[in-house]
Amino acid sequence: MMIYGGIDIGGTSIKIGFVDKAGTIMCKDLIPVGKISTYSDFIEQLGNKTNKLLETLENKYAIIGFGVGCPGRIDVATGKVIWLRGKLEYMENRDIGPDLASVFGKPVICDNDVNAMVLGETYFGKAKGSRNVIGLTFGTGIGGAIIINGQVLRGKHFAAGHFGFMSHDPNGESHVCGNAGAAEVHASHSGYSR
Distance CA 24, CA 64 (A): 15
- Extract the residue ranges of the chain whose pLDDT is less than 70: none
Q: Which fold has domain 2-116?
A: Nucleotidyltransferase; domain 5 (3.30.420)
Q: What is the pLDDT of residue 98?
A: 98
Q: What is the pLDDT of residue 142?
A: 87
Q: What is the pLDDT of residue 190?
A: 72
> Where are the domain boundaries for CATH 3.30.420.40 in the chain?
2-116, 130-193
Q: What is the pLDDT of residue 131?
A: 96
What CATH architecture does domain 130-193 belong to? 2-Layer Sandwich (3.30)
Q: What is the pLDDT of residue 182?
A: 82
pTM over 0.85: yes
Nearest to 10 by CA among 156, 138, 173: 138
